[in-house]
Structure 1
Amino acid sequence: MSTPSAPDPLAQRFVQFALQAGVLRFGEFKTKAGRLSPYFFNAGLFDDGAKLGRLAECYAERILGCGLDFDMIFGPAYKGIPLAAALAVELARRGHNKPFAFNRKEAKDHGEGGTLVGAPLRGRVLIVDDVMSAGTAARESIALIRGAGATPHALAIALDRQEMATEVAPDGSVRDVPHSAVQYVQRELGLTVCAIARLDDLLHYLERQQDPEMAAHRQRVLAYRARYGVS
């Protein structure tokens, strides 16, 4: 599993931005799968207008670069809600005005009611989220979109960790599977996945830094990738 031959400019800018914003951090972090990861990405820390605006620019640039053809945007609760709204604003600024919607975790029993907020779900829907660990949120979004009579078309995420997903075995234990959540969504659910950056891009960024501390981080990330990574 070698890194790409040439760095992707948008991905490199995004990695640097995420580090400067404190969204991407190095250390020892326990993941949902119970792994000890040498890095952590928390999109909730894009927590002011300037950061969110710049994040939306990165999403829009990647989505337009991927050539995705879609009719509307859906943001799954909770982190996907500001992402969908900010992306809709940025795309409109670039001449691509798209309606957007999001869901509530609990159904509202007054007012307009229901779990959906925003434009009616229709046509080809782009789901926007931060990262995927097991693909659970993506499956829930897909079911909700189909239930409304629309078509889940593609998924945009900020970071593809390129690591094995997990599943619960019949005996209740959690085990690794030989594919990532992104690969599962692509192969089994039939959606195009467009990521601003991938783990390969983070390794490229670290490789180009002269700081010895960054070199040490890169070695730890490489070791983690050798154990849990997918191509």
Structure 2
Amino acid sequence: MHWKKEFIDFSFKKKALQFGTFKLKSGRTSPYFFNSGLLSTGKDITKIGLFYAHSIMNSKIDFDMLFGPAYKGIPIVVATTIALKNHYNLNVSYAFNRKEKKKYGEKGNLIGTDIYRKNIIILDDVITSGTAIHHSMKIIEEQQANIAAIFVLLDRQEKGQRNLSTIRHISNNNSYKIISIITIEDLIAYLLEDSKLNKHIPDLIKYCKKYGIQ
């Protein structure tokens, strides 16, 4: 879809997508890195919300509300609900978690609409092996809610608690669908058409052979 090329163009322009040597949270050394934190202007986050909104509507997945994991998922989930209302006239609610449980006032570790027994889409920026997303799954599971799907900007498609198109929850052994704006495969296809950037392809292919989902 045209969103893929548009998103990669946008990410390179904002230097959110870079090539080099990067140590990931997983401990792996990667030849590329995506930092959604650099997409931090009003125009940037509006555009990001629209990418997610288009992807959600195109998926035709049934859902009640959106959930954004702290911290990067918070602006994403807010921007996406705005985009869904402005471009699709769909008025959905959202929630996000605190990193630490609040010990005063209303207490709790969730902000926004009650997620109890709701049908929820999780929005996050990047998924690698799937380890980080399990915290959000646990929160949703504790509220007896259902995960309709997980939407991300970039799926690095790496080995972990998942296979190519799903992520498996460790505790309940259920598999949940992952939908991404782009994957590492989309990025390589993009580089093939760019004479200035295609020099990075061998490093990406080598990394994928070592850590990628076969």
Q: For the aligned residues, what is the CA RMSD?
A: 2.0
**1:111 aligned residue:** 105
Q: Offset of 1:138 from its aligned partner?
A: 2.2
Q: Pairwise mapping of residues 183-198 of structure 1 onto structure 2 (< 5 A)?
A: 183-185=166-168, 188-198=173-183
Please state if 1:150 is matched with 2:150: no
* 186-195 or 117-126, which deviates more: 186-195
Q: Pairwise mapping of residues 115-154 of structure 1 onto structure 2 (< 5 A)?
A: 115-122=109-116, 123-154=118-149
> Distance in 2 between the 1:203 and 1:104 partners?
36
1:32-54 CA distance string (max 9 Å, x none) = 23222110011111111111111
TM-score between the two structures when normalised by the length of structure 1: 0.84
Asked if structure 2 preserves the Cα contact closer than 8 Å seen for 1:132 and 1:181, the reply is no
Q: Pairwise mapping of residues 1-231 of structure 1 onto structure 2 (< 5 A)?
A: 8-93=1-86, 94-122=88-116, 123-165=118-160, 183-185=166-168, 188-211=173-196, 214-231=197-214
1:40-96 CA distance string (max 9 Å, x none) = 011111111111111111111111111111000011111111111111111111211
> Distance in 1 between the 2:60 and 2:149 partners?
11
Asked if structure 1 preserves the Cα contact closer than 8 Å seen for 2:137 and 2:169, the reply is no
Partner SS, residue 167 of structure 2? helix
Aligned-partner residue type, residue 45 of structure 2 = L
TM-score between the two structures when normalised by the length of structure 2: 0.90
Structure 1 segments of 4 or more deviating over 4 A? Answer: 179-182
Asked if structure 2 preserves the Cα contact closer than 8 Å seen for 1:32 and 1:133, the reply is no
Partner SS, residue 85 of structure 1? helix
Aligned residues: 210
* 197-206 or 8-17, which deviates more: 8-17
Asked if structure 2 preserves the Cα contact closer than 8 Å seen for 1:127 and 1:156, the reply is yes
Segments of structure 1 that go 5 or more residues without pairing to the other structure are 1-7, 167-178
The percent of aligned pairs where both chains have the same amino acid is: 36
Aligned-partner residue type, residue 207 of structure 2 = Y
Q: Offset of 1:141 from its aligned partner?
A: 1.4
Q: Offset of 1:111 from its aligned partner?
A: 1.9
> Distance in 1 between the 2:209 and 2:175 partners?
27
Segments of structure 2 that go 5 or more residues without pairing to the other structure are none
